[in-house]
Structure 1
Amino acid sequence: MREAENTTNAEQPQKWAVLGGGMLGMTIAHRLTQQGHNVTLIESRSNLGGLADAWQVGDVTWDRHYHVTLLSDLYVRELWKELGVEDEMEWVETRTGFYTDGQLYSMSNTLEFLKFPPLNLIDKFRLGGTIFWASKVKNWKKLEQIPVADWLTKLSGKRTFQKMWLPLLRAKLGECWRDTSAAFIWATIARMYAARRSGLKKEMFGYVRGGYDRVLTAFEDRLVTRGVDVQCNTAVKGIHATPEGPVVVETEQGTDVYDKVVSTLPSPVLANALPDLNAEQRALHEGIRYHGIICASVLLKKGISPYYVTNITDDGVPFTAVIEMTALVDPKQLDGNHLIYLPKYVAPDDEAFNKTDAEIEEEFLGALDRMYPQFSRDDVKAFRISRVRHVFALPTLGYSERVPPFETNVANVFAVNSSHIVNGTLNVNETVKLANDFVTEFGDKQSAALVSRAQTASSNHHAADVSLVR
């Protein structure tokens, strides 16, 4: 959607506060300014970006968490156009690996899938059929009522579920997989299919040269140029209604009054900050079950595999997958170094959050020692850990029926966060779409610049890639 720089509106601009400076909050602020509103963007951390921010690992600055752009990510690619960075994208064909039974296997094409030793021919046929069938499902709400284990076992068989699906579900969801609906796998497979070029059967993933550090610099510059008041290091303490209608936002720096407020904070955080929530909406927000992440960035002198994603099905490995970022990103972007991510998805109250950096580093590097004979700790140049307790809402049974509405019961206060992604997986493209949808519905000034393009996902009947990590 192209930016409407010269759009004129008959209505009086409103004063909005956007709480949370991640990609969701930044995009909402951007769209509101396009409609002519006055916007203040409030972020508790010292920088914008949220889960998509960048940080320094050793002497290299790159993304704090792993991100990739797909060819089918039309919403985010359109935003990159507006920010002037789409021409800086690189598109690369990637490969996928599996670590199972103590061995590393390539699973990057149909032939490799057919040779995959842990499954017999019938298992492979049923696995491929499951992925094909899921790609054709349109009624995702029906899948919300079916436990993911029941659905996958029925389609793939008990052996394939135990050998392939269950380890992947546990790696991503922990023991919460027991309460997860089949819609989770449907959304994952739908995104995987959209990642491939029609007819080429290749994974083509993209990144902006300079990573999200480059993107966020361009984004913040655009916001400031358009008059957004960006306030970092500003934690929200409370959101309070007034009899006259405006909303008071209380921060550690003081208070200010706004015509409207939209919070992108996680639902439990919003529930604490908004005392006037009624019992029904408070129960909805507090009832959202979140999953968190502990993610290590490891800077190496050399790479350890040719695979962008290595899925792990073996027990005893302390992370979800190995993301070899420099199987996608040119090492020249990192001064000739190599970067891998080791994510571990956990519940917000998991004891892993209490482990020291040294304990996690020893545990994670020990696993790399066992998995990769060519790995040497002498090659490790830097090791840094990110901990985030509220990353994504768990897609439990009947989830979409319990999602809080955008409009809270408090006049002129709105809530938009990752819990509102009900028929997709958490990624930057879905985040941008969510922001577009909210501003189109509630920004008041309906501009042609906010009409979303239809998202045409390329599809391919390729059965090998069953990665849950993107």
Structure 2
Amino acid sequence: MGQRIAVLGAGPMGLAVAYQLARDGHQPIVFEADDRVGGMTAAFDFSGLSIERYYHFHCISDHAFLTVLDELGLADRMRWVETKMGYWYQNRLQPWGNPVALLKFRGLSLVAKFRYGLHAFLCTKRNDWRPLDNVEAKGWIRRWVGAEAWEVLWRRLFDYKFYDYTDNLSAAWIWSRIRRIGRSRYSLFREKLGYLDGGSETLLQAIKNDIETRGGEIRLKSPVSRVVIENKQVQGVEVNGQVERFDKVISTIPLPYVPRIIPDLPDDILQRFQALKNVAVVCVIAKLRKPLTENFWLNTNDPDMDIPGLVEYTNLRPLDQHIVYVPFYVPGEHPKFAEPDQVFLDKVQRYLKKINPELLDEDFIELRASRYRYAQPICDPGYLDRLPPVSLPVKGLWVADTSYYYPEDRGISESIDFGRKMALDASK
């Protein structure tokens, strides 16, 4: 007889949990506060264009993601594209992302180029992250690449992604980001990234349908206000003032919400959740009449731009209009996060026109901003050791979010993999 299991959150991890549970004969009921599934992968109507609120791409190493596509009969919807990277530095757009581009890069000495290239190459070859786990990232990078390459190629990325947290980040966490992009290359000079025909919405709806077909439920606009615990055992969840009974509860919502909805956890566990730090994001999406550049990813180092880079999405996934994502990462408590959307929209229009002076006001069809308070966990040295266990000291309760597949960065494939494993553990 299958168990009745509550799943909190309908992002990729929560959907993966419910997908696995339903396939194993259980009855998952997913509770989602939003009016749609997907979390950070959810799409919205951008004046007739269905597009994700936050950009996503896939690498050839995204095995868990590709496995689900196979299971759902979606493998033929996957598209692989040779993409390009660029670097905006000293008011100049330069190629980036391969050895020739590095050698030709203007504004960096030959020694600095060699040290930077050697570090990146060795990161892609490294498999064991444990020796880097307790190493501080900023000092680690500076020791490898030197002060010059740090200043030109790394500092602003740290400053405009992590702000006050830049001095205490895990080297293992930063290494995993370098490795993922490095391993997306199918040769030393070529990068290959993927997208799903129809975007992430294709996968989200297929998983949702599979869950429902197998007897599971997904309840939108249904935030859980409390997980009910008695005698160190889960009893159910409270939604809209009503308590529903469940055999087990699996939470995939951002960890900062956990103390709020599970206040009856032991004090030491609550303190560990409360100590975690996160960065927010304001992500501006611009719809243009003409391309900005020929690059998918563009790093930026410009004193007039408070961003580490931008993504020209239509250089990966072709669309009728040109789409550019410009993320402003900022701590949620920072005054900048409280600024109105128009401040960010105006900045983006100014930045894009500086990068491509041929862009005129009339080339901007529309700009839109999306905000996510807990977009990026801050992973300091030894991060994983300080997280509470996934299976908490409450019978029938599991808690995780994207933090738990540290040192890997947030990704759809990683969320699917972790979610399915968590479901298998909970099924025992």
TM-score normalised by structure 1 residue count = 0.88
Instruction: Determine the structure 2 residue equivalent to 1:236.
Output: 224
- 8 Å contact kept, 1:288–1:419: no
Deviation at 1:161, TM superposition (A): 1.0
- 8 Å contact kept, 2:281–2:329: yes
Instruction: Determine the structure 2 residue equivalent to 1:465.
Output: none
Deviates more, 1:258-267 or 1:374-383: 374-383
Deviation at 1:243, TM superposition (A): 4.3
Instruction: Write the distance in 1 (CA, Å) between the matches of 2:250 and 2:115.
Output: 46
Instruction: Determine the structure 2 residue equivalent to 1:448.
Output: none
TM alignment of 1:37-52, pairs within 5 A: 37-52=26-41
Q: Say if 2:92 is the partner of 1:103.
A: yes
Instruction: Determine the structure 2 residue equivalent to 1:6.
Output: none
Instruction: Determine the structure 2 residue equivalent to 1:327.
Output: 315
TM alignment of 1:249-288, pairs within 5 A: 249-252=237-240, 254-288=242-276
- 8 Å contact kept, 1:44–1:234: yes
Q: Aligned partner of 1:317: which letter?
A: M
Instruction: Determine the structure 2 residue equivalent to 1:386.
Output: 370
Structure 1, residues 289-334: CA drift from partner, whole Å, max 9, x if none? 1112110111111111000000012233133312101111112xxx
Alignment partner of 2:299 out of 304, 311, 321? 311
Q: Say if 2:235 is the partner of 1:247.
A: yes
Deviation at 1:377, TM superposition (A): 2.0
- 8 Å contact kept, 1:245–1:259: no
Alignment partner of 1:365 out of 346, 349, 352? 349
Deviation at 1:439, TM superposition (A): 2.2
- 8 Å contact kept, 2:21–2:424: no
Instruction: Write the distance in 1 (CA, Å) between the matches of 2:385 and 2:118.
Output: 29
TM alignment of 1:48-447, pairs within 5 A: 48-197=37-186, 199=187, 201-243=189-231, 245-252=233-240, 254-331=242-319, 336-444=320-428
- 8 Å contact kept, 1:58–1:299: no
Structure 1, residues 3-39: CA drift from partner, whole Å, max 9, x if none? xxxxxxxxx3111000001010000000111211111
Instruction: Write the distance in 2 (CA, Å) between the matches of 1:411 and 1:438.
Output: 15
Q: Aligned partner of 1:427: which letter?
A: G
Deviation at 1:108, TM superposition (A): 4.1
Alignment partner of 1:29 out of 18, 35, 52? 18
Deviation at 1:426, TM superposition (A): 0.9
- 8 Å contact kept, 2:232–2:395: no
- 8 Å contact kept, 2:402–2:410: yes
Taking only the aligned residue pairs, the percentage that are identical comes to 26
Compared with structure 1, are the counterparts of its residues 249 and 370 closer, same or farther at alpha carbon in structure 2 (3 Å cutoff)? Answer: same
- 8 Å contact kept, 1:247–1:413: no
Q: Aligned partner of 1:21: which letter?
A: A
Q: Aligned partner of 2:218: which letter?
A: V
Instruction: Please give the secondary structure, in 2, of the residue aligned with 1:283.
Output: helix
- 8 Å contact kept, 1:276–1:410: no
Instruction: Write the distance in 2 (CA, Å) between the matches of 1:244 and 1:359.
Output: 48
Deviation at 1:137, TM superposition (A): 3.2
Structure 1, residues 214-247: CA drift from partner, whole Å, max 9, x if none? 2222221111111111100101111111349442
**Count of residues in Structure 1 that have an aligned counterpart in Structure 2:** 428
Alpha carbon RMSD of aligned pairs, Å?
A: 1.6
Instruction: Write the distance in 2 (CA, Å) between the matches of 1:233 and 1:442.
Output: 25
Q: Aligned partner of 2:253: which letter?
A: L
Instruction: Please give the secondary structure, in 2, of the residue aligned with 1:179.
Output: coil
- 8 Å contact kept, 1:18–1:28: yes
Q: Aligned partner of 2:81: which letter?
A: V
Instruction: Write the distance in 1 (CA, Å) between the matches of 2:57 and 2:249.
Output: 31
Deviates more, 1:119-128 or 1:243-252: 243-252
- 8 Å contact kept, 1:250–1:256: yes
Instruction: Write the distance in 1 (CA, Å) between the matches of 2:273 and 2:57.
Output: 30
Instruction: Write the distance in 1 (CA, Å) between the matches of 2:74 and 2:369.
Output: 28
TM-score normalised by structure 2 residue count = 0.96
- 8 Å contact kept, 1:312–1:320: yes
Structure 1, residues 333-378: CA drift from partner, whole Å, max 9, x if none? xxx2111100111112222222222222112212222222112221
Deviation at 1:200, TM superposition (A): 6.2
Deviates more, 1:209-218 or 1:73-82: 209-218
Deviation at 1:253, TM superposition (A): 5.7
Compared with structure 1, are the counterparts of its residues 276 and 158 closer, same or farther at alpha carbon in structure 2 (3 Å cutoff)? Answer: same
Instruction: Please give the secondary structure, in 2, of the residue aligned with 1:307.
Output: coil
Extract unaligned runs of 5+ from structure 2. Answer: none
- 8 Å contact kept, 2:85–2:295: yes
